[in-house]
Structure 1
Amino acid sequence: MEEQSKPALKLQFEVSIFDIYKHYYQVRLFVETNQKEITFCLPSWTPGSYMIRDYATHLHKFNVQNTITKETVSWEMVDLHRWKLNQVPPKFEISYIIYAFEDFTVRTNYLETEFGFINPPALFLYPEGKLDTPMSVEFKVSELFPNVYCSLPRDENNPHQFYADHFDELFDSPFQLSKKNSVFFSAGTTKHELLIEGDVPFDFKTKLTNDLQKIAETQIQWMGESPNLYYLFVLNLSLPAYGGLEHKASSINYFNPELIHDDEEYKRLLELLSHEYFHLWNIKRIRPLALGPFDYQKPNLTRELWIAEGFTSFYDAYFLFHSGFLSIEDYLNKLQSDIFSLEDNEADFWMSLEESSFTAWTKYYKRNGNSHNITVSYYTKGGVLALCMNLFLLHESKEKKTIRHVFHKLNEVFVKGKQRGFTKQEFFETVKEVTGVDLKKEFNDYLEFPKPIPVDFYLDLIGIHRIQIDMVGETGFKTKEKNGNLFVQKILHRSDVDSIDLMLDDEILAINGKRASNSLLQKLEKNLRPGEKFHLILSRAGKVKETMVTAIGNYKTRKFVISEDCSVEKKELREYFLRNIV
């Protein structure tokens, strides 16, 4: 008996602008098939941004017609993200409108007169059960946007037509519609293209290009290879925003254009770009098992985002240091900023790193007024963990093997060999194989339980210690000013301090009997002592009430410093950590 041939399916997308002032894209999908029924879906989320976003909210005027006769084809919406087509002809066309002005972010579509951005999962339908189908995408936008940037291969005769071998590739390849021209640079064996959206001086573009080249070369040297022949950086500097999203051959990055000429903010920009570029390896290739292939309708849950994002958060600044953009003092300040941010609330005692990862969809990405007290960031704490793991490996490994060597092995075994992600157990087994050190035994408690990492112990291995002096008092809350009035914006919970009768959005009317103002609150904060009480008159839900607050204690001066009064072994390990890329 002959094997039945698979049903043929040919897909061609056409994207145009329906109304630029109303921020609408028009999408037409031309389909050829021998199937009689077919269901199309729109993804509910974007890989790398772990929250269900219901992109179908912005899909309108769905219609299906016979390509030849122009007759309407029967269809029904079977749930919020799926459209089932019945008795379809061999050739038909789906058309719909996408609203693209919800938010200015790296994970949502955007369209205005200066540029357009397309996050593919938020725009392109896919045939259910057939993510492996190839397709073409053509843009009819040249009268408004002469340039369309994307990492997908283009048609030789039409620069606005792109091809993807399957939908995972399409959904991982964002598009930027632009009037701007790009610049190129090479690092390793990779040709890099940089598009800067926004009005920036030429010398800034030149400086950033040169700096990005150094960062890319440092990372390629660390990994020992360039996985891509081509890589696209998109940096949008047109509106105040901050964020980035990694892709297999590109990254989309947003930054506030008003800050780019400030030296410290420029370093923050480089850190963002360094972070997203390192995802070229960590996540997009070397990854926890759950992070691909994806189910675009429901969460892909993993407890290992502390590797995927946490390790990346450690290395983004570490690469800047080794590329010459941060001094030793700058780098220590970065490390201590992350460490202190973990210590400034109770979250370490509420949430483990694995829970932080697993619940990212409902907790980290759905933040509220209490999130800072109970939600651990797998970015920040994962980065601190990566630091401590590297220091422990330097101390314990006879051959100075570190996470760098572990990543080389993961790349060899799981990316190139097994062509899949790894489990937590496989990660720790690889560490032990490469370094001879049992990292799981040393660090597993900090993964599975809500428990602070003893950072001071690991930093002491390289002769770096903490200084804490000048205990002062703090109010225990933060405020925002609105029309000259003060409102409670954030309340800091501490287990060693009694709870206070204070709520978010309480209006502070008076402080110690005087009319409340920003300057009065600042004066109070400047002179507070730990345990000192102060009196507040509040307005809550239309009622006036009074409360007493006791100042919490904190150190005015706290920092990590390099110790010269330490053993030769610690000095040598410190020198190795600072002079070699671990």
Structure 2
Amino acid sequence: MATRKSSPPARAALRYQVLPVPRTHRFQVTLTIPRPAAGQRLSLPVWIPGSYLVREFAGQLMRIEASQAGQPVALEQTGKNSWEAAARPGRALEVRYEIHAHDSSVRTAWLDEGRGFFNGTSVCLRVHGQEEAAHELAVQAPAGCAGWQLATALRPLRAGRGGFGRYQAASYDELVDNPVELGPFWSGSFDACGVPHRFVVTGAPPSFDGERLLADAKKICETAIRFWHGARGKPPQDRYVFLLNAVHDGYGGLEHRHSTALQCARKDLPRLGETGRAGEGYTGLLGLISHEYFHTWNVKRLRPAEFARYDYERENYTRLLWFFEGFTSYYDDLLLRRAGLIDDATYLKLLAKSINQVQQAPGRLVQSVAQASFDAWIKYYRPDANTPNATISYYSKGALVALCLDLTLRLEGRGTLDDAMRALWRRCGDGPMAEADLLAVLQAQAGRAFTREIDAWVHGTGELPLKALLRAQGVRVQEDTAPLAQQLGLRVQEDAGIVVRMVLAGGAADAAGLSPGDEWLGIELPPAEKGAAGGAADSPPGGWRLLKLDELPLYAGQARQLTAVVARDRRLLRLPLELPQGATAWRLLPPAEAAGADRPRAAARSWPAH
């Protein structure tokens, strides 16, 4: 009779004790490692998944020290974000340190007398060799902060009514994938397809309508769950928490498996007494909620093969952000339409905005969206004055690639991109995927290869067939006169004057020789044009001072040739500028408003509502 081998004893959990000290903007952390290795290695991540930039979180770590049984242990720094403790096996190792927390973004950590927030990647050292062990996080209530609560999607071990206490995670990955919100926040809850959801809002003004936000968020979540799993399917998440920080001016979000951290402007929150369709600001917030929630499936579970296991020490490259961010950007507003939160006209207005953003970027003809995905670490997240000329947003163009695939499938009567996304979920599920998986499901669905389209739209730099595909849906593409900055090929900052921020390659400003950093002081007209602009007797002898860009037509009159007067490094320059004609921006009209549009084919008429 064979003897059964006994299972090794469960490894004791790693424990993080976090004490917020708001007046110092610091979290005091004690990490207890019950069974350290000899020469135990520790490190703090250099990036956070979902935000593709090396952010050097260790720059905010201070006063690190270690001990065993009350005796100091030598701790040697071995790199910019790593340490080695001269620990002796068999005794628990304690590591104490502080984290300075004064970054109000969704990516790092913040602490003051009004609010606290942190991601584990900014606060929790990684214990090398024990990443798969159980981890515990204990957060104490800060002294002198009455009314503070704690919210996180981590599972509680022992937490009080306010949320402070002990939480558990099965691994380091799970620990750092659950941000923590602290403070006197508003909280509400709802069920979406049987899954409990909680919504936490910090910084809301008295006019905030929490019930409307809950009702609208519920519609978004249920629409997304049914998108992936149908009316009776079971979603992979058993809980979900929205952590929204409302500030004077801000916008952004970061996805996690069971939660998301969001930021919005207070003025964009829904207000008591307001009814009817959402305004532009609130629609933007709903789109952000939709985007981050869609990531619950697309990137947090269905994810690039390169992200099968995160490497927290360095860049994690993938050429698939056009799919994971771009396709999510396509569906965020589309699901608002399907949830009944916006109508066709509003959806097409949002889509036209995305199209114009791509069309205005000369970089679309320089860099493919696959290469833009790979270069996110050095280009998208590190923008400069040349960014629109050198690269393209994998969010915006990726969304348009998704649109083209969706409308092509509908036009050919081969289903929709929705079907392809669900097929990908069935094929790859909660695991890694590659571009080949997308090509495989498209071929299985459409009965033909989509290699040519993916090569051209994703790996090439040509224009997308947007007009033809939209017109086949009955959508009319109307080209209106573009805003003046777009006509000139400029992006400016206006604050008691005009400062050039960016000059777009190939535009009129580029041809004239304007440069980022120039202060555009005014214009001078040719002598023959002065009378046409307002009468020769009244024309000032030097030209006209400009304080805002939209004053240019007022003082240029009918002139097409003029001189731009700019200041550069305290020098005055006179640059010959030819005002362009014919620059346009797209406007999309629904079929009911597009009297002259092509009649949509029967198989395509349901878009965008279905």
TM-score relative to the length of structure 1:
0.92
CA deviation after TM superposition for structure 1 residue 126, in Å: 0.8
Offset from partner CA, 1:439-498 (integer Å, 9 cap, x none):
22223212112222121122122122322256897333233234x333222212227986
SS in 2 for 1:182: strand
2: CA distance, partners of 1:238 / 1:472: 29
Offset from partner CA, 1:110-140 (integer Å, 9 cap, x none):
0111110001101100112432121111011
CA deviation after TM superposition for structure 1 residue 382, in Å: 0.5
1: CA distance, partners of 2:523 / 2:159: 71
Offset from partner CA, 1:2-24 (integer Å, 9 cap, x none):
9997995641110002x312211
In the other structure, the counterpart of 1:198 is 203
User: Do the aligned partners of 1:131 and 1:167 also contact (CA within 8 Å) in 2?
Assistant: yes
Aligned pairs for 1:174-213 within 5 A: 174-201=179-206, 204-213=209-218
Q: 1:3 to 1:548 in 2, by over 3 A?
A: farther
In the other structure, the counterpart of 2:57 is 55
In the other structure, the counterpart of 2:440 is 429
Q: 1:527 to 1:16 in 2, by over 3 A?
A: same
Offset from partner CA, 1:202-246 (integer Å, 9 cap, x none):
761111001111111111111114221210011111442110000
User: Do the aligned partners of 1:46 and 1:121 also contact (CA within 8 Å) in 2?
Assistant: yes
1: CA distance, partners of 2:558 / 2:370: 35
CA deviation after TM superposition for structure 1 residue 155, in Å: 1.4
In the other structure, the counterpart of 2:547 is 518
**Of 248, 253, 257, which residue of structure 2 is paired with 1:244?**
253
Q: Does 1:233 align with 2:242?
A: yes
In the other structure, the counterpart of 2:536 is none
**Of 372, 386, 392, which residue of structure 1 is paired with 2:388?**
372
CA deviation after TM superposition for structure 1 residue 436, in Å: 2.4
Q: Does 1:15 align with 2:1?
A: no
1: CA distance, partners of 2:480 / 2:286: 33
Q: Which amino acid aligns with 2:501?
A: Q
In the other structure, the counterpart of 1:38 is 40
User: Do the aligned partners of 1:390 and 1:402 also contact (CA within 8 Å) in 2?
Assistant: yes
**Of 331, 344, 352, which residue of structure 2 is paired with 1:328?**
344
Q: 1:448 to 1:475 in 2, by over 3 A?
A: closer
Q: 1:194 to 1:157 in 2, by over 3 A?
A: closer
Q: 1:179 to 1:495 in 2, by over 3 A?
A: closer
Q: 1:423 to 1:99 in 2, by over 3 A?
A: same
Q: 1:129 to 1:431 in 2, by over 3 A?
A: farther
**Of 269, 272, 277, which residue of structure 1 is paired with 2:293?**
277
In the other structure, the counterpart of 2:562 is 534
CA deviation after TM superposition for structure 1 residue 517, in Å: 2.7
Q: Does 1:479 align with 2:503?
A: no
User: Do the aligned partners of 2:546 and 2:552 also contact (CA within 8 Å) in 1?
Assistant: no
In the other structure, the counterpart of 2:101 is 100
Q: 1:208 to 1:303 in 2, by over 3 A?
A: same
Offset from partner CA, 1:43-69 (integer Å, 9 cap, x none):
000000000001000000000012x2x
1: CA distance, partners of 2:417 / 2:131: 34
SS in 2 for 1:493: coil
Q: Does 1:385 align with 2:401?
A: yes
Q: 1:209 to 1:530 in 2, by over 3 A?
A: farther
1: CA distance, partners of 2:326 / 2:501: 28
1: CA distance, partners of 2:350 / 2:564: 36
CA deviation after TM superposition for structure 1 residue 578, in Å: 3.1
2: CA distance, partners of 1:97 / 1:434: 54
Q: Which amino acid aligns with 1:298?
A: R
1: CA distance, partners of 2:480 / 2:219: 39
In the other structure, the counterpart of 1:544 is 572
Q: Which amino acid aligns with 1:199?
A: A
Q: 1:391 to 1:496 in 2, by over 3 A?
A: farther
Q: Does 1:576 align with 2:606?
A: yes
User: Do the aligned partners of 2:509 and 2:577 also contact (CA within 8 Å) in 1?
Assistant: no
Aligned pairs for 1:289-300 within 5 A: 289-300=305-316
What percent of counterpart residues are identical?
26
2: CA distance, partners of 1:459 / 1:335: 11
Q: Does 1:133 align with 2:133?
A: yes
2: CA distance, partners of 1:155 / 1:8: 17
Q: 1:531 to 1:180 in 2, by over 3 A?
A: same
Offset from partner CA, 1:385-423 (integer Å, 9 cap, x none):
11110000112244xx222222222222212xxx53111
Aligned pairs for 1:63-82 within 5 A: 63-66=65-68, 68=69, 70-82=70-82
Q: 1:4 to 1:85 in 2, by over 3 A?
A: farther
Comparing 342-351 with 525-534, greater Cα deviation is found at 525-534
Q: 1:200 to 1:397 in 2, by over 3 A?
A: same
User: Do the aligned partners of 2:11 and 2:134 also contact (CA within 8 Å) in 1?
Assistant: no
Aligned pairs for 1:457-476 within 5 A: 457-468=468-479, 474-476=487-489
CA deviation after TM superposition for structure 1 residue 430, in Å: 1.8
Q: 1:286 to 1:7 in 2, by over 3 A?
A: closer
Q: Which amino acid aligns with 2:111?
A: L
SS in 2 for 1:348: helix
Q: 1:471 to 1:287 in 2, by over 3 A?
A: closer
In the other structure, the counterpart of 2:535 is none
1: CA distance, partners of 2:149 / 2:552: 56
Q: Which amino acid aligns with 1:169?
A: E
SS in 2 for 1:553: coil
TM-score relative to the length of structure 2:
0.88
CA deviation after TM superposition for structure 1 residue 181, in Å: 4.2
**Of 408, 413, 417, which residue of structure 2 is paired with 1:403?**
417
Q: Does 1:438 align with 2:467?
A: no
Comparing 456-465 with 325-334, greater Cα deviation is found at 456-465
2: CA distance, partners of 1:391 / 1:150: 39
Q: 1:526 to 1:386 in 2, by over 3 A?
A: farther
1: CA distance, partners of 2:518 / 2:444: 56
**Of 263, 270, 273, which residue of structure 1 is paired with 2:279?**
263
2: CA distance, partners of 1:527 / 1:328: 40
1: CA distance, partners of 2:362 / 2:557: 21
